[in-house]
Amino acid sequence: MIPGKSQLRMSTASNLRFISQTALLLLLAPVLSHAADERGKWFDVEFPHDSPVVSVGFDFGPSTITSRGPSMVIDLHAAHTLRNVGTKPICGLTLRVEAQDLSPHGRGSVIKPSLFVLPGEEFPVKVDMQLVRPISAARSESAMVQVTIDCALFSDLKAYGPDKLNSKRTLMVYEMEARRDRQFLTRLLDGGRLPELREELNFGNQDFIPRQLGLELLTGPRTIPAREQALTVSPVNFPKGPVQPLGGAAQVAGNEVRAPRVDIRNVSKLHVVSVAMGWIVRDGHGTDFVAGALTSRLPIGPVQTSFISEAGTLRFSLPSGAPMVIDRLMTFVNDVEFADGTVWIPSRDDIEAATQDYILRRELATSPEEQRLASIYRREGTDGLKKELKRVSLSNSKPN
């Protein structure tokens, strides 16, 4: 291993468990002997030599390898300690997780938004994952699972990394939402609007979490269900948005949505390079779920109209696993990237004006940063929240 690479360092207990599990697998499948000889090669963390973060600690925790039928199950619970060795504060980081058995068809990532790590500071990142692979599958020389940096976003919104997962854009959107929400909460605190603050942060209620749904995304050609029918997609407009949805349609059958298409218009004077369309799904009981946002690379000139369509099939279910009957589909512009590299996100006023539905407004405004600040408010109250907002404000004001 080169110095930049962080090899696994397991605790004694984990080591013993690992060895016993490996021995079991050796009995089950002689083909594994090669893997056992090179057990250090099945997981690897690698950062380039010029990376702004390096791994300074690693705990393998309760990781195990077991066999299940003809498959090997690797349960990995890795806790890294990373250090900012660059010169700028880091406000977001994406680690790419790749398994050689799935490449190039599938991979994963772990994103840490809202970090505010100053140069020299350390921070934890956990990777909890499971890999199920055929015991008999061939192996290459590289590790079975590799973790590496995809993108680090600094407080001046500049980025480092290969950005294979379009992480820079994602981290920028999270950071802008974070700044918007911190500004909003600071305004409430400074103005003494504590009842509004309490309401915004769910009254410190631990049980409150945004509405959950189950998702399945199928790519590749499929048989079209016989009962499929077209459903109109209703636009939710943010009045000051630079891109406006005009409407659209999707094919729906039960809990499946296929081939959604939305017409959009660039109403700004800037060239747009990509648009993320947010989707809201209403179930048979009239409950709305924000299903997420799909980003499309789509150059649109000023005052031009275009459309976004998606391949693949989406299947929705309730948290219980029961299929969700889709009654209505709505779409909104979640964020827009312009040719000059800037990104637009809806302001709090935009969200307020977009819908009369209080619950839906809350869902649209819930960002990762607000989720984090709500957790601090729950644990430490108004004083803790003030302290955190001040800390972040100071971190961001440090010269880059």
User: Is the CB of 219 or the CB of 305 nearer to other proteins?
Assistant: 219
CA separation for the pair 9, 61 (Å, rounded): 10
Our finding on whether 219 is near other proteins (CB under 8 A) is: yes
Alpha carbon of residue 174 to chain centroid: 9
* Cβ at position 187, least distance to other proteins in Å: 22
Return all residues near 221 (Cβ < 8 A) that are at least 6 apart: none
Our finding on whether 312 is near other proteins (CB under 8 A) is: yes
Our finding on whether 198 is near other proteins (CB under 8 A) is: no
Our finding on whether 292 is near other proteins (CB under 8 A) is: yes
Q: Which of 325, 352, 361, 386 binds other proteins (CB under 8 A)?
A: 325
Q: Which of 54, 183, 254, 328 binds other proteins (CB under 8 A)?
A: 254
CA separation for the pair 304, 315 (Å, rounded): 32
Strand pairing class (243-253; 256-266): antiparallel
What is the enclosing helix (H) or strand (E) of 181? helix 167-190
CA separation for the pair 68, 323 (Å, rounded): 28
User: Is the CB of 53 or the CB of 131 nearer to other proteins?
Assistant: 131
Long-range contacts of 186-193 (CB under 8 A, 24+ apart): 186/389, 186/393, 189/382, 189/385, 189/386, 189/389
CA separation for the pair 184, 188 (Å, rounded): 6
* Cβ at position 192, least distance to other proteins in Å: 26
* Cβ at position 219, least distance to other proteins in Å: 5
CA separation for the pair 367, 92 (Å, rounded): 14
Main-chain dihedrals φ then ψ at residue 398, nearest 5 degrees = -65, 140
Scanning residues 66 to 85, which ones bind other proteins (CB under 8 A)?
Answer: 68-71
Return all residues near 358 (Cβ < 8 A) that are at least 6 apart: none
User: Is the CB of 102 or the CB of 303 nearer to other proteins?
Assistant: 102
Number of residues binding to other proteins, judged by CB under 8 A: 79
Give SS3 for 304. Answer: coil
CA separation for the pair 18, 32 (Å, rounded): 14
Strand pairing class (43-46; 5-6): antiparallel
Our finding on whether 210 is near other proteins (CB under 8 A) is: yes
User: Which one of 45-53, 55-63, 182-190, 305-313 is the stretch in contact with other proteins (CB under 8 A)?
Assistant: 305-313
Our finding on whether 217 is near other proteins (CB under 8 A) is: yes
Our finding on whether 218 is near other proteins (CB under 8 A) is: yes
Scanning residues 364 to 383, which ones bind other proteins (CB under 8 A)?
Answer: 368-369, 371-372, 375-376, 379
Our finding on whether 314 is near other proteins (CB under 8 A) is: yes
* Cβ at position 165, least distance to other proteins in Å: 7
Q: Which of 151, 159, 264, 290 binds other proteins (CB under 8 A)?
A: 290
CA separation for the pair 331, 44 (Å, rounded): 41
Strand pairing class (326-338; 229-235): parallel
CA separation for the pair 379, 215 (Å, rounded): 31
User: Is the CB of 19 or the CB of 322 nearer to other proteins?
Assistant: 322
What is the pattern of x (binds other proteins, CB under 8 A) and - over residues 10-49?
Answer: ----------------------------------------
Our finding on whether 204 is near other proteins (CB under 8 A) is: no
User: Is the CB of 4 or the CB of 254 nearer to other proteins?
Assistant: 254
* Cβ at position 371, least distance to other proteins in Å: 6
Closest CA to 60 of 147, 149, 151, 150: 147
Scanning residues 223 to 252, which ones bind other proteins (CB under 8 A)?
Answer: none
Q: Residue 65 is encoded by which pair of tokens?
A: 């390898």
Q: Residue 393 is encoded by which pair of tokens?
A: 């404000």
Our finding on whether 396 is near other proteins (CB under 8 A) is: no
* Cβ at position 369, least distance to other proteins in Å: 7
Scanning residues 100 to 159, which ones bind other proteins (CB under 8 A)?
Answer: 101-102, 104-115, 123-124, 126-137
